Amino acid sequence: MDNSGRTPTRPPRACDPPRMDIIWTLGVLSAGVENVQPLASGTAATEGGAIQAASDALVLAAMDRGRHEYRLTVAETLLGVIPGLTEEGEVDLLRLAEVLPRLTSHHR
4: pLDDT strictly greater than 80: no
Better-scored residue on pLDDT, 45 or 11: 45
Q: pLDDT (tens digit, 9 = 90+) per residue, 56-68? A: 999 999 999 999 9
This model's pTM is above 0.85:
no
> Would you state the pLDDT for residue 100?
75
CA 30 to chain centre: 19
**Which residues share a beta bridge with 28?**
37, 70
Amino acid letter, residue 63:
M
Q: Which pLDDT tens digit goes with each residue over 24-50?
A: 999 999 888 899 999 999 999 998 899
Cα–Cα distance list, 41 to 32, 35, 44, 107 (Å) = 23, 17, 10, 20
